[in-house]
Amino acid sequence: MNNTVWMNQLSWVDYQTRVQQDQPPVLLPVGALEQHGPHLPLGTDGLLSSAVAADTAALVGGLVAPTLSYGYKSQPKCGGGQHFCGTTSVDAATLIGQVRDAVREFARHGLTKLVIVNGHYENQWFLIEGIDLGLRDLGPDAKLQVMRLEYWDFMTPDTLGDVFRDGFPGFALEHAAVLETSMMLHYHPNLVRMDLLSDDGPADFPPYDMYPPRTDWVPASGVLSSAKDSDAVKGKLLADEVARRMAEALRSGFERPVQ
């Protein structure tokens, strides 16, 4: 049988066998098509969430479903905003619907463990609504449990301390910055242009949002915080920790069946 982690490369017969024999977790990566400065590609969020999902799946015998490649609308403070060319986003209803449908379908397969692996900050609450509505559709007797996570929440303070020698400034401005750039250098070095690093940032935002967005609050490069200390070694350190700790989370999170 095909031992790949990628669900879309399995025949339905092999997938069914896996589901019935092993009750594997299926990981559904969710990304975005969003500006990540001049040095990282538009697809960074989907590439990273699927990469850590694949590493995790390899550790626990799981599978990775096809990535949702279009995310919720980019916001100035976390992704630069919707005014950038190339950022290609969906409305809330679309993302909610996509996740709701996925929950219903994976439950029909007989799956009991679905993991939504989010790689784009703006997606979070629409994933929650999609899961909630999907489980409502299934009714109270469903056997499916859904775990939802942002992969960067599995980085420990120790590791962040190693990566940021001058102190971790927080996740707030880490868009197209050291964490994402380092992980891209680890997973997809050929897609990173270190020669085009922007000096922009750190961006400074007031404690409120304005709509229509104030585009002049955001550096023209789209980079909210400098990525200049990024390297592949840091990327590997982060990626390995995330995958290892996500694997542990899958083991403990699904230990109990539905209450």
Look at the block and give the residue holding tokens 């897609």. 191
Q: Count other C-beta atoms under 10 Å from residue 146's C-beta.
A: 22
Q: Decide if residue 84 touches a copy of itself (CB under 8 A).
A: yes
DSSP symbol at 113: E
Burial classification of residue 230, based on how many CB atoms lie within 10 Å of its CB (0-12 exposed, 13-18 middle, 19 or more buried): buried
**Count residues contacting a copy of itself (CB under 8 A)?**
91
Contact present, 78 and 149 (Cβ < 8 Å): no
Least distance in Å: CB of 34 to a copy of itself?
A: 8
Region of 222 please: left (phi>0), alpha (psi -120 to 50) or beta.
Answer: left
Contact present, 70 and 210 (Cβ < 8 Å): no
The binder of a copy of itself chosen from 59, 109, 219, 244 (CB under 8 A) = 109
Q: Which is catalytic among the residues 39, 55, 122, 186?
A: 122
Q: Which is catalytic among the residues 55, 180, 186, 200?
A: 180
Q: What are phi and psi of 113, to 5 degrees?
A: -135, 105
Least distance in Å: CB of 217 to a copy of itself?
A: 11
Q: Quick check: is 83 catalytic?
A: no
Q: Quick check: is 255 catalytic?
A: no
Considering the complex, state which of residue 156 and residue 233 has its C-beta at the smaller distance from a copy of itself: 156
Q: Quick check: is 241 catalytic?
A: no
Q: Decide if residue 253 touches a copy of itself (CB under 8 A).
A: yes
The binder of a copy of itself chosen from 24, 25, 27, 39 (CB under 8 A) = 39
**Site mask, a copy of itself, residues 174-213, x = CB under 8 A?**
-----------------x-x--x---------xxxxxxx-
Of 38, 6, 21, residue with least CA distance to 222: 38
Considering the complex, state which of residue 136 and residue 233 has its C-beta at the smaller distance from a copy of itself: 136
Q: Which is catalytic among the residues 174, 175, 186, 200?
A: 175
Region of 46 please: left (phi>0), alpha (psi -120 to 50) or beta.
Answer: alpha
Run of H or E residues at 55: helix 44-60
Q: Looking at residues 45 to 74 of the shown chain, list those that interact with a copy of itself (rule: CB under 8 A).
A: 46-47, 65-70, 72-73
**Site mask, a copy of itself, residues 123-162, x = CB under 8 A?**
-xxx-xx-xxx-x---------xxxxx---xx--------
User: Residue 64's beta-bridge partner residues?
Assistant: 6, 27
Least distance in Å: CB of 246 to a copy of itself?
A: 8
Q: What are phi and psi of 119, to 5 degrees?
A: -120, 10
The binder of a copy of itself chosen from 59, 214, 231, 241 (CB under 8 A) = 214
Least distance in Å: CB of 164 to a copy of itself?
A: 19
Of 155, 55, 154, 147, residue with least CA distance to 103: 147
Q: Decide if residue 255 touches a copy of itself (CB under 8 A).
A: no
Q: Quick check: is 45 catalytic?
A: yes
Task: Please list the active-site residues.
Answer: 34, 36, 45, 120, 122, 175, 180
